Structure 1
Amino acid sequence: MTAPRAPQGFQLYHLPTGPAWIRPSIRKPLLSNWKKLNPQAPLRLAARRHPQHRLFQGRAPVVLLPIATTSLVVRPCVNGGLWGQLTRDLYLNTHRARCEIYRAQLLADKKVPTPTIQAALFYPAGPLWRIDIVTSYIPHSLDLVSFLSTRPSTPARTRAFSAVRKLFHQCRQNGILHPDFNARNILLTPSPHQAWLLDVDAIQVKPQHPFQIDTANRHRLLRSLLKLAKLGSLGFSEKEVPSLWRELFPSS
């Protein structure tokens, strides 16, 4: 099995674990650190051997890997929905990674904040693939769920919600529909206050329907807030979500 040629801005490398698309600027520090940790293991596992690694929750654990003067986030690709229950983290080809790289670049071109993808790593699993996406780490960031779970003060919520509204406005302006615009896919940074869009492999661009797209994106976020509140993961109860929503979108 061989990976197709790398997307623009990346180079194809053949590693002990399988093929990889890596940006040239990050190749040396990434591979040097991987070699020290365990070059025979997938990076999602090798990164956990770093003494300063951190784990974040998602469909699969996401690992923060400090390297040189920066840090990287190693995120295993995992299928969602009913199909995901059957296939979990197995893919037929490299299309999933190529889509995410392409769409992340599309968002960057439109000035919609999303972490820069630095590498896509492929691990053969029989006739299938497992895939890690490696992105730049956004310092001092929290996803919206983690932020709300601390029950932040009203002024803190006001600043964060302003950044979230700006992100939604940018998506509406550019016709960006996110099929999974849930609270865990919104990343917040405090200085400057900014909201970042995550998990962008399935976004669609429909500039001719901006208001329908905005409504759909908002509905997805509201459903996720209600679901998380019901599960007790939000820091706010289901009864408090409508009030929280009015703070987030006062004019809706």
Structure 2
Amino acid sequence: MRVVRALSAAVLTLTVAAGPAAADASPSPSQDETSAPTQAGTSFRTATEIEQGQRATASGSTGDYLYWSFPADTGQRPTVEATVKLPETHASQTWQIDVWDGLRRRQACQYGAQTRTAEADTSSVKLTCVLRTVRAWSEPWGNDPLPGTYYVRLTATGVATADLGLPVDTGIRVDSKDIGGSAAVDGSLAEPLVPGIASKAEEEQEDAAVLAGLEPEDGWTSGWWSDRWVWTAIGGILAALAGVGGYALTRGTGRPSRVPPGA
């Protein structure tokens, strides 16, 4: 029974170790609103960088293209929310958010109202795009979300000519849910898909130009660790416990099956 006790203690230790990993999946506190960006870019190259958990704002005109960028790491499922405050008087308008990864591949929304129509004189419109879970690695021909920089574009796709140029106020926020080991895959990228990061690595200079400078708070994980390792170890120990317990139940009382004559 000492073996059973030892294996039970090991399971308890691994379960406690898995606790902090699960706690890390909780949403991080919001960034200081005073440090959030108050403008948006007009193209991929000028996209305004925002941290996850920040609410960025920007003023613009109906018909403008507004761009932001944010970092997303392995195991995260980002949710992009955008709000547009419209002028008091306007005709019907259709607004849309689109998301691209670091290779500028358009990423489909898993669910959410990516496109919405604001009827005449509606005060605001809210858009949501929940992306698929970011994977550590993918086939070259795949279109799976990969760790790196993501770009968000907000624009009006259906606007009456009379409404072009009307002022609007926009707000955008990106949050992520950590999916954990259920989304883990074998393999990882050599570098996250951050425009300019490869050039910086080759030059090995601190002042090398990088088109996107933000990264997750704890750095890029590159998919080397997930809680799948913990639960795999726990499963192996439970299997060993089952084997030891089964042997203890079936080995009998210890008396020989055949008793010698005269015993």
Q: TM-score, structure 2 length as denominator? A: 0.23
Q: Which has the higher helix share?
A: 1
Higher RCO (Cα < 8 Å, 6 or more apart): 2
Q: TM-score, structure 1 length as denominator? A: 0.24
Larger radius of gyration: 2
